[in-house]
Structure 1
């Protein structure tokens, strides 16, 4: 072993100095149980349209396929805890709810910048090779974080920490150093199943198993087509992501509000008016969400989500905002507008006479309550 206790202490101190709230060290390997869970997830097709989950399966199962020389992984975490309970916002039906992690800057940029700072120090001071990864790479970061003692994977499959609850961004530094690993965190979920029971779309077939195809986060961010009808009403006013299973976790009682300014919610992304968001064209969308992770969904998918929320608002005042989009240039937007229009009491005969898109026309053929 090339490691001494003072060496790991130095690495962790440097990571905390860089702004990370939790740090742990593990070997560059993933356990058999976690590999089996990933295999089952892919085999069942629960990844939906995220084809890269299947395409990168082997690389995810074994970190050394990404970098054969890797011996250890330094897992770093940053707290993004909100200053409120996101569940309290679901009653504001005229306003949209954005997942807590997406209410300010894109965390990928900041986390990677901080990781690179630590990695450069390790390379210079410890004479080792390093590579950094955030969740855009095929890395099973939550199992690595659990084995590094940063937290454990809860029944909702997200990481849970006794110090930070479920509000953690993760990043990893792979290194050629052969470091002594920290003790893995044990599972402290016990008999609790709040995260499973709160899910509005029943996205958990069993504890520790997520079917992304039913998850509101997946549907509002990754899914490219019309939202399946069976999930639209359950979406409520959630327009980008969903925090329900995270927010309900009792371990959040120990969580603190994010201290990093880039993770403090912007005022204009906290319960924005749905009617205002519905008016966004492509240029307006790009301007409003510049630097935000929301920008990657594109205007059409985002407005689709806004229209579902408007349809769920039950407000006759929302009908004008919806009607204005019945003739939008995007079939995705027009289809969602048709559903929302009928749900709010609009008449089927009001559809634009020149509508020819089959998928949009199909939206007009369903009863308004569906």
Structure 2
């Protein structure tokens, strides 16, 4: 095996690219020693909000060598989901719902993990090494590891972007007992640009390269349980699941790779659906509509809560009828959001 290490890595990259990944890089599990301290500071400051899982498994998340001590290499892979439409255009249509691009198609967890396993099996067959694959649901900090592996760098918005990838790509990780030659880490190339910071509707970035999740619309619409603070609701606009603003304005997107998997194409009913249609969803209707979508995991109540906020931000009193039935909703956060929306629309119509 030793004599073939360089060849194995080259063949691995070729196989992964043929399987659908746009870029592959390798780093050591201990390549980012400052990762644990950064995570601890983030959690200690409370910026993780209600994401208790960050604190619960912080030892593993901050130190890949603790997650799997036998691992000798981390293979990071990028898979594009670049949209073929302007993701910010829907923000000018307040009666429609803005859904984050990554959630407009098939659930990426299923697609990327299947592809990772395919590449992992090839590596096992070729080398006999052990592997573990991870896609976003395990205590792995993919973005710092991907930067260490040379795929890109964490921009001022803390998301990963690359010179030849842009902003729109998913990350997957293969931990392996095989020792592979690491790639050179990528350096930040944001320069003096602050486009991603300037566009944030809720000022969720207290400083470049720092995110306060408690103010991030992606966090508020997906992770946050219960009512959203009233001073933030009006800033959410019609964004009901995630937010793409900071990704969409990045100048590096001129180098974005085209998505190769049609399963990431936007579904017609998720591109810019009417808010009135979504407000009427009961639990069964929600589950049916979002089968196979990452949206399904937040549940009907949190989703409809977000829709009610969007209706309240629409400025259109004609939508009061769509949200009125929700004032008696069994979920307290939904009922609260509906009352807030009606009051806001009535005040604006005076």
Q: Whole-Å Cα distance in 2 between the matches of residues 168 and 190 of structure 1?
A: 22
Residue 52 of structure 1 deviates from its aligned partner by: 0.8
- Corresponding residue for residue 71 of structure 1: 72
> Residues 148-188 of structure 1, C-alpha deviation per residue, up to 9 Å, x if partnerless?
11111101110001112111100101011111101111110
CA contact (8 A) 2:204 2:213 kept: yes
Q: Please state whether the residue corresponding to 2:346 is helix, strand or coil.
A: coil
- Corresponding residue for residue 287 of structure 1: 288
Residue 328 of structure 1 deviates from its aligned partner by: 1.8
Counting matched residue pairs gives 348
CA contact (8 A) 1:203 1:214 kept: yes
Q: Whole-Å Cα distance in 2 between the matches of residues 256 and 89 of structure 1?
A: 23
- Corresponding residue for residue 355 of structure 1: none
* Structural RMSD (CA): 1.4
> Residues 48-101 of structure 1, C-alpha deviation per residue, up to 9 Å, x if partnerless?
000010111111111111111000011111001111221222110000000000
- Corresponding residue for residue 93 of structure 1: 94
Q: Whole-Å Cα distance in 2 between the matches of residues 230 and 34 of structure 1?
A: 32
Q: Whole-Å Cα distance in 2 between the matches of residues 108 and 146 of structure 1?
A: 21
- Corresponding residue for residue 211 of structure 1: 212
**TM-score, length-normalised on structure 2?**
0.97
Residue 197 of structure 1 deviates from its aligned partner by: 1.1
- Corresponding residue for residue 349 of structure 1: none
- Corresponding residue for residue 225 of structure 1: 226
Q: Please state whether the residue corresponding to 2:172 is helix, strand or coil.
A: strand
- Corresponding residue for residue 147 of structure 1: 148
Q: Whole-Å Cα distance in 2 between the matches of residues 324 and 340 of structure 1?
A: 12
Query: Which structure's CA Rg is the greater one?
Result: 1
- Corresponding residue for residue 266 of structure 2: 265
Unaligned segments of structure 1, at least 5 residues: 347-367
CA contact (8 A) 1:30 1:62 kept: no
| Range 23-32 or range 160-169, more displaced | 23-32
Q: Whole-Å Cα distance in 2 between the matches of residues 334 and 143 of structure 1?
A: 40
Q: Whole-Å Cα distance in 1 between the matches of residues 69 and 34 of structure 2?
A: 22
Matches within 5 A, 1:292-307: 292-307=293-308
Matches within 5 A, 1:101-180: 101-180=102-181
CA contact (8 A) 2:35 2:63 kept: no
Unaligned segments of structure 2, at least 5 residues: none
Residue 30 of structure 1 deviates from its aligned partner by: 4.1
- Corresponding residue for residue 354 of structure 1: none
Residue 257 of structure 1 deviates from its aligned partner by: 3.5
Q: Whole-Å Cα distance in 1 between the matches of residues 193 and 172 of structure 2?
A: 28
**TM-score, length-normalised on structure 1?**
0.92
Residue 28 of structure 1 deviates from its aligned partner by: 1.2
